[in-house]
Structure 1
Amino acid sequence: MSRQPTPAAPTLQVEGLSVAVRGGPALLRAVSLTVQPGEVRALVGESGAGKSMIGKAVLGVLPRGIEQTAGSIRLQDTALETLRSAARRQTVAAVASLIPQDPLTALNPSRRIGGQITDRLVRRLGWGAGDAQRRALELLDRVSIRDPERVMAAYPHELSGGMRQRVLIAAAFAPRPSLIVADEPTTALDVTVQKQILTLIRELQAETGTAVLFVTHDMGVVAKISQTVTVLFDGKVMEEAPTAQLLARPSHPYTRALIAATPRYTHPHEPLRPVPDELVARLRQEVAQDDAGSR
């Protein structure tokens, strides 16, 4: 009788994650989610829902004054809470990357593009300078940047917004990470460039098998990029499901409201339908009651 192969461990497993302002209100409330190898999981919700905070907690870059108060984060089966600060940073840097939201502020304006891609490979991951240079040129070419050698020698202000975002995508994929946190990477781009960037991320992800945690407020982006979705409101998970199932048969009223509020480019004259104020008020009341009950 043939032995069944052992299933691969999740790339990322978050269990009961709670994050709060030190001495103040909760920002994440017992969030649990799993990202399997090669999976793209979207985190969706309105501004302030806690989407980016999950990514920051995973990467260990929570803002000053904000702390993890409960739960666990396992990255490639390593419990990050068990590691000291330096070991945690080293572990995360070895297997995870970030594609940030704003390419202009994410890149150092005083440094050339090439060094900003190769630095992590050389200084933090121990690559040789020549290997890092070749990898950077290879990725810049792969993200459809013409004349990669010229771009390597350029400064960020010499590139367009779309080119800067392509540079950040190349930098994120360069170390061959197991996990990428993409924090609304198309928000600052126009619709045409946004579509190109989404296609590029999806193609690179499929080629490399990298798992992606994709933060967005846009259900249209969710439909294009992800296989599974976690819907958040006020730091709490409202619903999660495979993308096709959630878009076709959303079970939570907040999810249905988010889908209804998404503009349809096939209906340009259709009025916008914001999430109803009464629904938001009711959900906030439910969250507050849950908070009170857990004390």
Structure 2
Amino acid sequence: MKPHAHTLDVIKLNIALPNGRRLLRDVSLTLEPGEVRALVGESGAGKSMIGKSVLGILPPNVTITEGEILLEGQHLNMMTPATRRKTVAQSAALIPQDPLTALNPVRKIGPQIVDPLVRILGWSRSDAVARALDLLDRVHIRDPKRVMGSYPHELSGGMRQRVLIAAAFAPSPRLIVADEPTTALDVTVQKQILRLIRELQQETGTAVLFVTHDMGVVAKISQKVTVLFAGKVMEDAPTREVFTNPRHPYTRALIAATPSYADLDRPFSPVPAALIKDLHARIAQDDMLYTGGRR
């Protein structure tokens, strides 16, 4: 079968709470094979909601009210829950933000990587173990056999995050959602983790949807950027274009608010309160016209 042109298509996606409050507002984006697209914005911008909607792990009180999600051309929101879970498990994976809570504290590392390959994807246990050892080695973990037999609390934060990267790449997914995978790590380890993700992504050709609030991370890892504010896309463009010629005032404000290690004397420049107020007013006006898919 001829592969679909896009790994991911999100088309006019709207997500809301039971009281009608919108969390995502007409979000559209595409992700091509082998591409890294950053979703950037402040806390509450809706970045993680996009990734969770793709993976089918939205909180139970959050509903997709309108829009389409296509994974390699397959309409996910037209599938039964069981078919969708199987499709996503075969084609996508998650690198979560906090490895300590993502890993089961009472199970050893080995089974946490191996069992999904065996139970969900039907691999033989010997092949799954070999794959886990190989990936742990490729994320530069010393003595992978020892780590396979360790519990999460016996590893450092950086090692736990490397384990999650290995687990995500182990089934050779077409898409990985990386949900702020470096936020809980110190700066030195952050750089190492970003480099590992980039190396494996380039080696495997996996597309990555990278959620972050850090414009510095965006510049290092992505080819394209979607800038979000309060669940609405403010700007969507190639990364180089966003940094050299940002079109939206909010994008310019985010870039200006990013600390520069090349200019340590530059004063901190937060996003202007007047701009935030204006954006909220515009979004509130748009919400008044929205009727859950009927305009």
The two structures have a TM-score, normalised by structure 1, of 0.97
Q: Equivalent residue for 2:190?
A: 194
The one-letter amino acid paired with 1:19 is: I
- Counterparts of 1:185 and 1:129 in 2: how far apart (Å)? 28
The one-letter amino acid paired with 2:19 is: G
RMSD, aligned CA:
1.0
Q: Equivalent residue for 1:93?
A: 89
Q: Equivalent residue for 2:250?
A: 254
1:196 positional shift = 0.6
Pairing 1:152–2:153 present? no
Contact 1:181 1:212 (8 Å CA) reproduced: yes
Please state whether the residue corresponding to 2:289 is helix, strand or coil: helix
Please state whether the residue corresponding to 1:61 is helix, strand or coil: coil
- Counterparts of 1:266 and 1:258 in 2: how far apart (Å)? 17
The one-letter amino acid paired with 1:288 is: A
Q: Equivalent residue for 2:116?
A: 120
1:91 positional shift = 0.5
Please state whether the residue corresponding to 1:86 is helix, strand or coil: helix
Deviation string 1:23-70 (CA, Å, 9 cap, x unpaired) is 330000010000000000000000000000000000000001101000
Q: Equivalent residue for 1:139?
A: 135
- Counterparts of 1:166 and 1:94 in 2: how far apart (Å)? 21
Flag structure 2 segments of 5+ consecutive residues without an equivalent.
none
1:213-252 matches, cutoff 5 A: 213-252=209-248
Q: Equivalent residue for 2:65?
A: 69
- Counterparts of 1:104 and 1:276 in 2: how far apart (Å)? 35
Flag structure 1 segments of 5+ consecutive residues without an equivalent.
1-5
Match of 2:177 among 181, 189, 194: 181
Deviation string 1:144-202 (CA, Å, 9 cap, x unpaired) is 00000000000000000000000000000000000000000000011110001001100
Higher mean alpha-carbon deviation, 261-270 vs 281-290, is at 261-270
Q: Give the fraction of aligned pairs with identical amino acids, expressed as a percent.
A: 69
The one-letter amino acid paired with 1:75 is: L
Match of 2:5 among 9, 31, 53: 9
Contact 1:162 1:189 (8 Å CA) reproduced: yes
The two structures have a TM-score, normalised by structure 2, of 0.97
The one-letter amino acid paired with 1:37 is: P
1:7 positional shift = 8.4
Q: Equivalent residue for 1:3?
A: none
Pairing 1:204–2:217 present? no
- Counterparts of 2:75 and 2:158 in 1: how far apart (Å)? 36
The one-letter amino acid paired with 2:136 is: L
Please state whether the residue corresponding to 1:29 is helix, strand or coil: strand
- Counterparts of 1:222 and 1:27 in 2: how far apart (Å)? 23
Contact 1:8 1:37 (8 Å CA) reproduced: no
1:266 positional shift = 2.0
- Counterparts of 1:104 and 1:80 in 2: how far apart (Å)? 30
